[in-house]
């Protein structure tokens, strides 16, 4: 299948590792012009090299830009860089690290504010900066990376449960508003994908319950119909289709890639 990505201009937030880096790799494989971002310049340069290698030399190595997605000025600089390096923006992938784990009474006002700025307001700001470029191009795609909590809340992740579901309302509203201009907006949630974030959550659960990390992982795998954790590459393939121009009619949707773990409809 031709995903229609040759030469398309892609901006990815928080993409120097994990799911973000895997998505960037798939875009490069498909011939897109990619700009990856992160707060850490060293991690970015290393990621760009790894992405080019994993893409098998197909496509150009991604461009890089240091960006703190919670800082409006930094986001504006990212999109200025996209104009300078790519000539504009056709596709935006909104991604961010997860907020701290904890229960409702654990969280202070500051925790709530930081999670809001990281996991929702950053996506709003980035989308607002990207859409004018998409309108100029006559079409565009926005994909919000969330969590399986968009379908089923996860115990001990009150901040994520709150703001990830906020993304769904945001994406649905934007999809309704911009579909007539061929700007499609979707949300994609990972389940237990083997990333540093999931490893961190497994370690925290293991400590809390007095188990080994492997015991926690084995227990989680018994609840996943596929019988294992997913890989970033598996998630990325779904993400790239939804954010591609092969997708011409899916918008306003909230989907999960989780091996069947979530039981909610």
Averaged pLDDT, 43-60: 88
- Burial of 111: CB neighbours in 10 Å, binned 0-12, 13-18, 19+: middle
Q: Residue 81 has what pLDDT?
A: 98
At residue 200 the predicted structure's pLDDT band, cuts being 50, 70 and 90, is confident
Averaged pLDDT, 54-65: 84
Query: Is-contact 141 245, C-beta < 8 A?
Result: yes
At residue 201 the predicted structure's pLDDT band, cuts being 50, 70 and 90, is confident
Q: Residue 39 has what pLDDT?
A: 96
At residue 22 the predicted structure's pLDDT band, cuts being 50, 70 and 90, is very high
pLDDT > 90? residue 197 = no
Averaged pLDDT, 40-64: 90
pLDDT > 90? residue 11 = yes
At residue 55 the predicted structure's pLDDT band, cuts being 50, 70 and 90, is confident
Q: Residue 118 has what pLDDT?
A: 97
Averaged pLDDT, 169-192: 98
Q: Residue 64 has what pLDDT?
A: 97
**Where do the domains of the chain lie?**
9-194+234-257, 196-229
Name the CATH topology of 9-194+234-257. Rossmann fold (3.40.50)
pLDDT > 90? residue 261 = yes
Query: Is-contact 93 78, C-beta < 8 A?
Result: no
At residue 196 the predicted structure's pLDDT band, cuts being 50, 70 and 90, is confident
Query: Is-contact 75 125, C-beta < 8 A?
Result: yes
Whole-prediction pTM value? 0.95
Q: Residue 42 has what pLDDT?
A: 95
pLDDT in tens, 204-234: 888 989 989 999 999 999 999 999 999 999 9
Q: Residue 94 has what pLDDT?
A: 98
Among 63, 67, 30, which residue's Cα sits nearest to residue 47? 63
Summary mean pLDDT of the chain: 95
Query: Is-contact 35 82, C-beta < 8 A?
Result: yes
At residue 154 the predicted structure's pLDDT band, cuts being 50, 70 and 90, is very high
State how beta strands 63-66 and 91-94 pair: unpaired
pLDDT > 80? residue 161 = yes
Q: Residue 60 has what pLDDT?
A: 80
Measured CA to CA, the distance from residue 243 to residue 235 in angstroms comes to 13
At residue 265 the predicted structure's pLDDT band, cuts being 50, 70 and 90, is confident
């Amino acid at each position: 299948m031709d995903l229609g990505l040759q030469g398309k201009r892609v901006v990815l937030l928080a993409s120097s590792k994990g799911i973000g880096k895997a998505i960037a790799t798939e875009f490069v494989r498909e011939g897109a012009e990619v700009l990856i971002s992160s707060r850490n310049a060293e991690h970015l340069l290393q990621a760009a090299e790894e992405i080019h290698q994993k893409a098998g030399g197909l496509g150009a190595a991604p461009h890089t830009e240091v960006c703190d997605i919670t800082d409006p000025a930094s986001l504006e600089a990212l999109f200025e860089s996209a104009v300078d390096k790519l000539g504009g923006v056709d596709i935006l992938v909104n991604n961010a690290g997860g907020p701290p784990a904890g229960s409702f009474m654990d969280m202070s006002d500051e925790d709530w504010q930081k999670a809001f700025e990281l996991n929702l307001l950053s996506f709003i700001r980035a989308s607002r900066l990207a859409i004018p470029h998409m309108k100029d191009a006559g079409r565009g795609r926005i994909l919000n990376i969330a969590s399986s909590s968009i379908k089923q809340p996860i115990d001990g992740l009150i901040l994520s449960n709150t703001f990830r579901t906020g993304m769904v309302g945001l994406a649905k509203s934007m999809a309704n508003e911009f579909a007539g201009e061929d700007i499609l907006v979707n949300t994609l949630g990972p389940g237990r994908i083997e990333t540093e974030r999931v490893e961190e959550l497994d370690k925290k659960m293991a400590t809390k319950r007095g188990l080994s990390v492997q015991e926690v992982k084995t227990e989680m795998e018994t609840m996943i119909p596929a019988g294992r954790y997913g890989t970033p590459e598996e998630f990325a393939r779904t993400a790239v289709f939804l954010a591609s121009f092969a997708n011409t009619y899916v918008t306003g949707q909230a989907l999960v890639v989780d091996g069947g773990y979530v039981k909610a409809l």
